[in-house]
Structure 1
């Protein structure tokens, strides 16, 4: 009887192993594209003269390559009103920097990047932002009335359309949380935004606790950038949701004037911003 059982088990193992086939999935790939990270941010109370633009190339999803920095490009920003030109210096690590940039609220600026014989351009206006009035913590303003949340408040200028980007980043976290807002229904009034970290049953340190430190920044942005970042945030937030629509490629404002088909990823943005550092009590 034992011999019969052994034979049956052995036969079953052979049958199962013979049904296992290695399936190679061909994942579509595309040629690398230039990625332009050009956010020229002017913090209130500073000169705003030090600015950095980062260039890299896109990589396939499963590629583990991390050395995709772009060097040897020519990077220039021109004030379209005054015609002042600002040439960014190649730091040979994918970053291009300048120390004499002059930010002027409501002036338009033109970015020009020349890379591999092709020219990329983008135009954007430097937007202002109100000061942050105050920061408050609570356990009642968020979605969970048992965890701490933090809110910022600011005055929206009356009689004009305004768009905002809010960045929350707890010190020690790898990535910030981004929020977008417009004054469509609150023009001329005090506006606010809050941030609450989700509670996890197996990790009570994931939520905010007394002593935690969070950096909060409020940016004034253009309507076009607002529409762009809003789509990106929506796609990021819906990641892993089986009922969400498929992610789509979202193009920024950088245009390849030499070869329109070889467009770049990224965005050229100019913003004034205010920032606060808050410690939970």
Structure 2
């Protein structure tokens, strides 16, 4: 059996931009892909719905229009999302709040799919700066991020960077399993991008729940970027109640910082 590469577009916090992750999927029939995020920053928040293609077709996944999409929080607020462009659905009044749990419900072709995510509080970034690369003896600049991990509670992080307001490809995952409560200082090396002098970088330190962390951890391994690099034999498992659905739904607190 062939193991073709599909491309999974991941919806970013800043509007409807996408980052492309190479994802090694087994040969399969087309499957529904749902990707959604809610943060503690002002909305609107977006949910993207598409379908995979057969392995011998171009990697341009078709959008799914006319779906029913709702997000409800643990305070009882429900927002009915409206389709803004084909396959992209936006909230109108929902505001993310740390400590709340958010449930996404999607109805497509008479089938209903749901996922829930609890929003952890954001962890402040103390500082972020550029350092000379020491990887593989090469030249270059690496962004280094420092923050204090809250003690006594399991924390999971997804780290993303923007350059001049646009998202850089790739992301990184961290958990505090071995450094609970400690000060964290980590450089980050991009697999497909070299930081240039004059680049205006910002970092997003996203606090995510365990299921979302697991999902992005597997994607990070598959893409071969960051600290977690090892072969991954299976597709990442999302947090939807139907394992036929690919993708994820994440509620997260985020702390931003301009890299100096």
TM-score, normalised with respect to structure 2? 0.79
Q: 1:270 aligns with which of 235, 251, 254?
A: 251
Figure out how many residues of one structure are paired with residues of the other and give that number. Answer: 235
Question: Contact 1:77–1:86 at 8 Å: present in 2 too?
Answer: yes
* Distance change (3 Å), C-alpha of 1:71 and 1:190: same
Question: Contact 2:161–2:202 at 8 Å: present in 1 too?
Answer: yes
How big is each residue's C-alpha offset from its partner over 1:107-160, in whole Å with a ceiling of 9 and x where there is no partner?
Answer: 112111010010001111012221111112222665546432220111211221
Question: Contact 2:221–2:232 at 8 Å: present in 1 too?
Answer: no
Larger strand fraction of residues: 2
Unaligned runs of 5+ in 2: 5-25
Cα displacement (A) at 1:92: 4.4
Question: Contact 2:37–2:250 at 8 Å: present in 1 too?
Answer: yes
* Distance change (3 Å), C-alpha of 1:125 and 1:186: same
Say if 2:235 is the partner of 1:249. yes
Cα displacement (A) at 1:166: 0.6
Indicate the residue corresponding to 2:46 in structure 1. Answer: 52
Q: Name which one, 1 or 2, has greater alpha-carbon Rg.
A: 1
- The aligned runs of 1:45-194 (5 Å cut-off) are 48-64=42-58, 66=60, 68-79=62-73, 81-139=74-132, 142=135, 144=137, 146-171=139-164, 175-194=168-187
* Distance change (3 Å), C-alpha of 1:209 and 1:30: closer
Equivalent-residue separation in structure 2 for 1:198 and 1:184 (angstroms):
25
Q: 2:38 aligns with which of 36, 40, 43?
A: 40
Equivalent-residue separation in structure 2 for 1:213 and 1:163 (angstroms):
26
Larger helix fraction of residues: 1
Cα displacement (A) at 1:226: 1.3
Equivalent-residue separation in structure 2 for 1:196 and 1:65 (angstroms):
27
Q: Secondary structure at the match of 1:38?
A: strand
Unaligned runs of 5+ in 1: 1-24, 200-205, 239-243
TM-score, normalised with respect to structure 1? 0.74
Q: 1:224 aligns with which of 211, 219, 227?
A: 211
How big is each residue's C-alpha offset from its partner over 1:229-274, in whole Å with a ceiling of 9 and x where there is no partner?
Answer: 1111111108xxxxx6464222211123xxx7xx210001101112
